[in-house]
Structure 1
Amino acid sequence: MTLDDILASLFLEGHDIRNNDGLLLGSGPLKGGGRAEVIGVADRTAVGVDDAIRLSGQVLAALERGGDGPILVLVDSDSQRMSKRDELLGLNEFLAHLAKCLIYADMQGRHTVGLLYGHTAAGAFIATALATRTLVALPGAEPEVMDLPSMSKVTKLSIEVLKEKAKSTPVFAPGLDNLAQTGAVLATWDEKISLADQLQALLGNDRQGGDQRDRLGKARGGRPKAADMAERVYDLALQPE
């Protein structure tokens, strides 16, 4: 699906979302009523300091306007923009600010939903899609927290060793299926069915609230320890001194 096709399927009555130099900004009416604020990255744009602060501002402006509609984050990006200027300005802090804005929005009752429809990687992936409460994807999406050559440099393990580990440990492997197994991606939507209907079903089925990815990863066998460790830490924090 092209971006225009995706937006048309999400917002059957039209929308005011615009692609401004690779950034998506705007909103659209939901099928079940209400309105979704939309931010995102298009055309495999690398996310730099200017992009991160602009997206952050859009999230904060949505909170200031009020309402309880979801914030939808569409993602087809490169990694973060690794230029000298961006690094010197503190790109890591700008990306962290964007992630915090999305997390804060969710804490304020604005369900944040990420939709992967293309490529994404590294810091840009973490600060956008992975910072949402619920992450879904379309077939053909290509997410990767870190590609194997980069992972090899960081871990000092050979690519061959990493490829072997990836067969049994999804956290070592890029790709949509592996991220779904870890619980990062809730579901892959059917592009032949109305995306508006699938979004409405997702919002309507959100009974528990909060981030459920650690439990999902445990159930799917891709991240068996995270949920138990988080629960243990929570229990310890509640114990009297």
Structure 2
Amino acid sequence: MKWQTLASTLFPEGHDIVEKDNFLRGTAQVGEQRIAIIGTTGHTSIGVEIALAQAEAILATMRDFPGRSLVILVDTQGQRLRHRDEMLGINRYMAHLGKCIDLARRHGHRVIGLVYDQALSGGFITSGLMADACYALPDAEIRVMGLPAMARITKVPEERLIELAKSNPVFAPGAENYLNMGGLEAIWHENLATCLAFALQTSVSVDIRSQRGMERGGRKMAYPVAQAVLGVNHVSKT
């Protein structure tokens, strides 16, 4: 879906979002509140420029409009794999972006992520997955690492990973699998404006993704292990 079509559907009460070099920025009206919008389009890769631009937009919102809700529109093929970006420290730029999102949350800004097209690797991890809650459209393509790349890194044959992906969402791409793992709060099928308004009203700053993954059967051990670690830490302090 083109971002212009998405924006018209999400914000029927109006918006002033503009695009510059595949970076989206603006505001929109949702009910009685004005919200801030940042995002990407064109399957763009996240280089140092876009990472810094998104971080600057978040900090500006915090400075000029304390408490204003923030929506992150995600369409990215991941971090830019160029020598220049690596030499400039793209990992630090993306970490800075993630920290700015977390800082906004800690200062009372609700943060909602929406994958409307493509979300891959680091570009997704430091944007949509940093939100209070992340949502997706049904046709969104989501994956953190493709199976061929996963095979090279883990040394597990790609054929074996393909077989595992049939029954285990951890190995499989797609919005439904990320929903089952708890990475997505929900998939929006219709009336996107209503879905967004509800998400803004009900979002919480507590990270419940591992709990969602256990409840949905996609990540069965993350939540119990985390709870066990917390219990051990509590006992050790007493």
TM over 0.5: yes
Task: Output the CA distance in 1 between the equivalents of 2:100 and 2:66.
Answer: 16
Aligned counterpart, 1:214: 210
State the partner residue of 2:104: 105
Give 1:23's aligned residue. Answer: 23
2:9 maps to a residue whose letter is S
Unaligned runs of 5+ in 2: none
Corresponding residue for residue 151 of structure 2: 152
Rounded to whole Å, the distance in 2 between the matches of 1:235 and 1:39 is 38
What is the alpha-carbon distance in structure 2 between the residues aligned to residue 115 and residue 174 of structure 1?
17
Amino acid at match of 1:106: R
Partner residue, 2:219: 223
Return the TM-score normalized by structure 2: 0.94
Q: Deviations over 1:192-236 (max 9, x none)?
A: x2x221111122233x54111111000001111111222223333
Q: Structure 1: which 4+ aligned runs deviate by more than 6 Å? A: none
SS of corresponding position for 2:178 = helix
Aligned: 1:198 with 2:201: no
Structure 1 CA distance, aligned partners of 2:227 and 2:99? 22
Once the two structures are superposed, residues 52-111 of structure 1 have per-residue CA deviations (whole angstroms, 9 ceiling, x without a partner) of 011011111111123323210001111211011001111111111111111221122211
TM-score with structure 1 length normalisation? 0.93
In structure 2, how many angstroms separate the alpha carbons of the residues matched to 1:104 and 1:218? Answer: 28
Quote the residue 2:141 is aligned against: 142
Taking every aligned residue pair, what percent have the same amino acid on both sides?
A: 37
Larger mean CA deviation between 224-233 and 91-100 belongs to 224-233
Contact 2:105 2:205 (C-alpha < 8 Å) held by counterparts: no
**Residues matched between the structures, number:** 237
Cα distance between partner residues in 2 of 1:79 and 1:203: 26
Secondary structure of the corresponding residue to residue 16 of structure 1: coil
What 5-or-longer segments of structure 1 have no aligned partner? Answer: none
What is the rounded CA distance, in whole Å, between the counterparts of 1:108 and 1:158 in structure 2? 46
Give the Cα separation in 2 of the matches to 1:45 and 1:2.
Answer: 13
Instruction: Give me the whole-angstrom Cα distance separating, in 1, the residues matched to 2:210 and 2:197.
Output: 24
Distance 2:33 2:72 in 1: 17
Deviation at 1:133, TM superposition (A): 1.4
Displacement of 1:143 in angstroms is 0.8
Aligned to 2:126: 127
CA RMSD of aligned residues (A): 1.4
Matches within 5 A, 1:1-241: 1-31=1-31, 33-191=32-190, 193=191, 195-206=192-203, 209-239=205-235, 240=237
> 2 CA distance for matches of 1:103 and 1:52?
15
Distance 2:232 2:96 in 1: 29
Q: What is the CA–CA distance in structure 2 between the aligned matches of 1:145 and 1:18, rounded to whole Å? A: 28
For the residue of structure 2 that corresponds to 1:118, the secondary structure is strand
Task: Indicate the larger mover: 72-81 or 58-67.
Answer: 58-67
